[in-house]
Amino acid sequence: MNYEHQELAKGRWKSLSFFEQMGNVGSEVERTINWKKKKNFQYSQKSLERALELLDLTIEANKNNFSRLRELLRTREVLLDYFVGENQYASTDKKWQNYFYAFMWAARVAK
């Protein structure tokens, strides 16, 4: 697989805490939202692809933690539903920002 985040994919991602991983995913989701608001759908799509790549790395790193894995897979499903699907789950930009903000906050507090 051709990763955008090659160094992270080589193993450095697993050295980050779960909160740091999710905070980084959240940063890419935030970029996706910002580019979408600016009507730059090409950049928004690229940011979403990077967010999904980081989320996939997080899923791989947590594959032995069933409860966390279930949450990650659901997050991926709902994220795709919001940005490229029909938004069946009634997500909003604000809901995604709030969801990932908690991880960013936890990563900072844990340091």
pLDDT tens digits, one per residue of 15-66 = 999 999 999 999 999 999 999 999 999 999 999 999 999 999 999 999 999 9
CA-based nearest residue to 14, from 73, 41, 42, 54: 54
Tell me if 5 is assigned to some domain: no
Tell me if 14 is assigned to some domain: no
Which tokens go with 46?
């690229």
Domain span at residue 83? Answer: 28-110
Tell me if 35 is assigned to some domain: yes
Tell me if 8 is assigned to some domain: no
Tell me if 78 is assigned to some domain: yes
Query: Could you report how far apart the first and last alpha carbons of the chain are, in Å?
Result: 32
Total-model pTM = 0.90
The answer to whether 22 and 79 have CB atoms below 8 angstroms apart is no
Counting the structural domains of the chain, the total is 1
